[in-house]
Each structure stands twice: as C-alpha cells, then as structure tokens.
Amino acid sequence: MLLNDCKRKVELEYPCPWVYKVIGREEDELRGAIAEVVQARECLVTVSHSSSGGRYLCLDVELVVISAEDREAQYLAFKAHSTVVMVL
C-alpha cells in the first residue's frame, strides 16, 4: 500500500513494473537468491548502492507484477531468503 501526501491510497493498475531493493552482503549470493525467488520470470537486476565500508550491497530488481498479491508474495519471498538482509 502506498500513501500520497494526502494520506490516501495510491491505486496501481496491474500488471505494472515494480522495483524491489534487495540488500545483502555478497553480490554473487544475492544474485543467486534473486534467481531462486523470481525463477523463470523476466527481471532486470542492477547494482544500486554499496555501503562505504563494503559490508552491504543493494541490488535493484525490476519485474512486472500482475496483482497486489503477486507484489506482496515476491516481497515476502525475498525477505524470507537466508541470503537477503533486507528488502525495500
């Protein structure tokens, strides 16, 4: 659920592109986790940011979600993966 400045829900039209920020420690492991979660779905994975000390890395994962339930399921699958530290 997204809120705009007026605290009203923003209505999304599905299917639509969605970007998850997936944060972890090792790029190869994180890319493997992403592949496990998205399986055969087409997605674009790009390096977003790494911490100044190099301990954490953020990858953006853009894919098309077909419903609010699909969007939430992908989020929960990323969050549940042992390699993933955080998902935004």
pLDDT in tens, 19-77: 999 999 999 999 999 999 999 999 999 999 888 888 999 999 999 999 999 999 999 99
Question: Is the bond preceding 15 in cis, omega lying within 30 degrees of 0?
Answer: yes
Please, what are the domains in the chain?
A: 16-87 (3.30.70.260)
* pLDDT confidence tier of residue 3, bands split at 50, 70 and 90: low
- 4 pLDDT above the threshold of 60: no
Q: What is the DSSP letter of 56?
A: -
Phi, psi of 81 (to 5 degrees): -70, 135
The whole-model pTM stands at 0.84
- 1 pLDDT above the threshold of 60: no
CB-side exposure of 72: number of CA atoms within 13 Å? 5
